[in-house]
Amino acid sequence: MNILVTGASGFVGSAVVDRLVTRSEFTLRAALRQMNHQFPPMVDVIQVGDMAPDTDWVTALQGIDVVVHTAARVHVMRDTATDPLIEFRRVNVEGTLNLARQSAAAGVKRFVFISSIKVNDEGTLLKKSYMADDSPAPIDPYGISKMEAEQGLQQLAMETGIEVVIIRPPLVYGPGVKANFASIIKWISRGVPLPLGAVYNHRSLVALDNLVDFIIYCIDHPKAANEVFLLSDGEDVSTTELLQKVAKAFGKKTRLIPVPVWLMTFVAKLVGKSDVANRLFGSLQVDNSKARDLLGWQPVVTMDEQLKKMASDQKHDKFYRKKRHEIKPAMGNHGE
């Protein structure tokens, strides 16, 4: 089976490629915006340029059976675009549907689309989970663009017969993670005291290894066709518990001060950071029972196991950076 992975140099896309190359039943092609990433020699790498409404995918799609579409304009905290929704729609809606239409025309059988839990909304009540069949209710431009892309793909599936699989993950964490989760690791590693010792919310996350495993499940599972799945590790944690788990995995002590949530929420509103307060103190729970029951899928790693893997990778990175630093002066002295 021939697979095309878009966004193949990204956080999720590169992990999908790394896993697929270990599977002999798949032949792999990686689509990149620019040639800035190294892949194993068995991967067919092709440069397609920006993800746009007029991108030409004809060459990339030749002989392809399944497209795994991870490329996107991602959600950012400080968007500098004059109209973010227009920019999100250009890439995430028009760019995605352009690729999907060309995929259908090229005879691609299945299109696996990595969407976002933001299609459902920004948060849940405590112990109330999003379900796969809940009505979409996105709030921000990113979530709206993902919802519109989903709707366009579902319409295209009805018109052309191409099978569409939609996966909505919450926050994804794993080796190489950036943004908010990387900040958490930095705070814990530096021993920064945090006023987050008494937060009793419930949040779902998904380990990168679990997401990648599920994506591969959806490549050829017959029951995945034209379905929407919500995904998580199946072990919801509070912000306080998450920080404690990160500290344990990285071998650090937690310095969590039990400041009342109502007080921190009040201060956050005063300084215009209500969105930050919502992510830290609010709940967002995902019911992944559809993935388990319909496809028979089970998480391949626990949260603790994925965090330990992240800590191990970070130690290796530090070790090799230190070695490179030691080698350079030695070579310089020898040259003199």
Residues tagged active-site:
142
Look up residue 4 and give its two tokens: 């095309």
Burial class (CB in 10 A: 0-12, 13-18, 19+), 263: exposed
Beta-carbon contacts of 187 under 8 Å, excluding residues fewer than 6 positions away, are 194
C-alpha span between 68 and 16 (Å, rounded)? 9
Phi-psi bin for 3: left (phi > 0), alpha (psi -120 to 50), beta?
beta
**Where are the alpha helices (H) located in the chain, listed in sequence order?**
11-20, 58-61, 84-88, 96-105, 141-160, 179-189, 208-220, 239-249, 261-270, 274-281, 289-295, 303-335
C-alpha span between 19 and 166 (Å, rounded)? 20
C-alpha span between 135 and 221 (Å, rounded)? 25
Phi/psi at 327 (nearest 5 deg)? -70, -40
CB distance 288 to 211 below 8 Å: no
Query: How many angstroms separate the Cα of 184 from the Cα of each of 71, 83, 191?
Result: 25, 30, 11
Look up residue 261 and give its two tokens: 């949530």
The one-letter code for the residue type at 234 is G
DSSP 325: H
Neighbours of 177 (CB within 10 A): 17
β-pair partners for 286: 130
C-alpha span between 287 and 14 (Å, rounded)? 26
